[in-house]
Structure 1
Amino acid sequence: MGSVLNRRIVFSLMFLIIMMVYGHKADSKCVFEAIFSFGDSNSDTGGFWAAFPAQTGPWGMTYFKKPVGRASDGRLIIDFVAESLGMPFLSPYLQSIGSDFRHGANFATLASTVLLPNTSLFVSGISPFSLAIQLNQMKHFKVIVDESHSSHQPGLKTLPSKGVFGKSLYKFYIGQNDFTSNLATIGVDGVKQYLPQVIGQIAGTIKEIYGIDGRTFLVLNLAPVGCYPAIITGYTHTISDLDKFGCLIPINKAVKYYNALLKKTLSVTRTELKNATIIYLDTHKILLDLIQHPKSFGMKHGIKACCGHGGRPYNFDQKLYCGNTKVIGNSSATAKACRDPQSYVSWDGIHVTEAANHRISMAILDGSISYPPFTLNSLCPSYL
């Protein structure tokens, strides 16, 4: 009799715990109703290829099983963040067919910069959709939403609620192209001269979005691009410029300068905007750990690219990018993808793999790289 009673008590306790955990998830509601994303290829969910259709090859092979407009083998950080908040993947603002903007929009496009691309600072190959253009798209989007709700126009089924802009998460992951596009021509010292202008533009954009009700901002810092195969092979250097992990010392020193200035500027901006939450995310830290110690994270290759041509040590050729085929010498060569991208940090020598993006996203969600402390998991139920 006692054993039966004990089993009933244990069963009742287990049932109560299950109901508390899953019942809380079912009843709880994320404080954010939408996400609005600004950035470059690190956040682009299809905007660039919607504007310039061309993507083919092994892109998306891990998760989507086909190219879906992402510069990776699978999901990006913005995808993981959206998933964790119980939202669908963000539709690109530039994608006219099949988009659903009820939970926000993604203005990020591949090759975008913070500063305007038509200045003398930038070389060719830069996207026309700079941060200023993305901000204008955001403002126009808000006007359309407000007008649609005021006049009950068609299209409301794919648009967010009118008051969504004060209940949204605004994510910035941009600046890498401003930093890398001129390294080969004006060097590190030349690039450092205009980095304060880049950061000032990001802060100014946050202030403008604050003016149209934005209150919560996540700003990702610059990755250790001195460890990226595309930069290592494209930047003239000597063996003394490389650290013990094979990364370019002068490049990564400049990255640290940029990140320190970004963190300081955001702290100042935080004091200027009342009731705003402005979070600096040190994604550089976790990504550098992944690159330097991949085996500690269950991976094998920190610097070597999964998709590329050339073999060791970088598997990257400036003349033959991932997925492309060209005649080199007297034979045809194709930059193919590896069979195990989950073992690599670098996807194509320029962008990281889904596996790396997932590690970074987990650090964002648990607040371990946030300044000031900010845990998304405490504000929204995690669906990952």
Structure 2
Amino acid sequence: MANLSASCISFLLCFTTCINLISSHYLPENHVALFIFGDSLFDPGNNNYINTTADFRANFYPYGETFFKCPTGRFSDGRLIPDFIAQFAGLPIIPTYLQPGKRKFTDGVNFASGGAGALVESHQGFVVDLETQIKYFNKVEKSLRQELGDAGAKKLMSKAVYLISIGGNDYFTKNSSVSDEEFVSMVLGNLTVALKVIYSFL
């Protein structure tokens, strides 16, 4: 009888573990993730987790008071455009990439940083520039491949929606010695590189 009970317990543990493994790798056929890059228009609080000044943070009132009832790091008193898009897509609010702790990326992740630009030099040292956001995205892609396998990760990322809002801050920090034409070319060049990197994973 004792052996039978031990066998039942072993079976149940094995069965539960198998179910958990299957469910953790299973995504509904119509599941779409949301990956977000940008500046303060899209930043949900990444700047809370970097060494920066109060000028590049929104972790104090009146920010957040109308929806979250506390400052979240969003440069808004409520939600941002990506929050509404996530809601309409049936997704939870997409988390910040830099938030500490174990994270699940199958719904997407937000890399945006208030004050960031397409150019590394824009507010350098105070924000997460686009090039660094793309490097973080590269790490997420590797994490998804480990979790879902190569085919599963590729399927998720090829169906995902990518929101990008960046470039305006570059013009606030423009070097006067660079012509307007050269500057526009630099900004567009960096955006093009970022888009090509994202596209290479699809």
TM-score computed with the length of structure 2 as normaliser: 0.73
CA displacement 1:140-171 (0-9 Å, x = unmatched): 111121123349xxxxxxxxx53311110011
- What's the offset of the Cα at 1:58? 1.1
Using the TM superposition, give the Cα deviation of residue 101 of structure 1 relative to its aligned residue in structure 2, in angstroms: 2.5
**Equivalent residue number for residue 91 of structure 1:** 95
Whichever residue aligns with residue 81 of structure 2, its letter is: I
Pick closer, same or farther for the CA change 1:89–1:192 going to 2, 3 Å.
farther
- 8 Å CA contact 2:116–2:123 kept in 1: the answer is no
Partner of 2:109: 105
Does structure 2 retain, via aligned residues, the 8 Å contact 1:62–1:73? yes
Q: CA RMSD in A?
A: 2.7
Deviates more, 1:95-104 or 1:43-52: 95-104
Give yes or no for contact 2:105–2:140 (8 Å, CA) kept in 1: no
Q: How does 1:167-246 map to 2 (within 5 A)?
A: 167-182=159-174, 186=176, 190-191=179-180, 193-213=182-202
More strand by share: 1
The structure having more radius of gyration, on CA atoms, is: 1
Give the match's secondary structure for 1:207. Answer: helix
Cα distance in 1 between the residues matched to 2:85 and 2:184: 28
Deviation at 1:102, TM superposition (A): 2.6
State the distance in 1 between where 2:200 and 2:30 align: 20
Asked if the contact 2:105–2:144 (Cα under 8 Å) also holds between the matched residues in 1, the reply is: no
Cα deviation 1:157-211 (Å, max 9, x = unaligned): xxxx5331111001110001111223xx739x85553112111221222122111
Matches within 5 A, 1:1-384: 33-52=32-51, 55-97=59-101, 99-117=103-121, 122=122, 126-127=126-127, 129-150=128-149, 162=153, 163-182=155-174, 186=176, 190-191=179-180, 193-213=182-202
* Amino acid corresponding to residue 195 of structure 1 in structure 2: V
> What is the match of residue 373 of structure 1?
none
Q: Give the residue type in structure 1 aligned to 2:107.
A: H
Q: In the aligned structure 2, how far is the partner of 1:123 from the partner of 1:133?
A: 13
Looking at structure 2, the residues matched to 147 and 115 of structure 1 have their Cα atoms a distance apart, in angstroms, of: 31
Larger RCO (CA under 8 A, 6+ residues apart): 2
Distance in 1 between residues matched to 2:74 and 2:123, nearest whole Å: 23
Identity of aligned residues (%): 30
Deviations 1:247-274 (A, max 9, x none): xxxxxxxxxxxxxxxxxxxxxxxxxxxx
1:39 Cα deviation from its structure 2 partner: 0.3
Partners of 1:107 and 1:134 within 8 A in 2: yes
Letter in structure 2 aligned against 1:207: K
> Could you tell me how far apart the structure 2 residues matched to 1:102 and 1:50 are?
22
Report SS of the residue matched to 2:118.
coil
Measured at CA, do residues 57 and 125 of structure 1 come closer, stay the same or move farther in structure 2, by a change above 3 Å? farther
Retained in 2: the 8 A contact 1:48–1:110? Answer: yes
Match of 1:170, SS?
strand
Unaligned runs of 5+ in 2: 1-27
AA aligned opposite 1:63? F
Equivalents in 1 of 2:115, 2:137: separation in Å?
19
Q: Distance in 2 between matches of 1:90 and 1:83?
A: 9
- Structure 1: tracts of 5 or more residues without a match: 1-28, 152-160, 214-384
CA drift at 1:65: 1.2
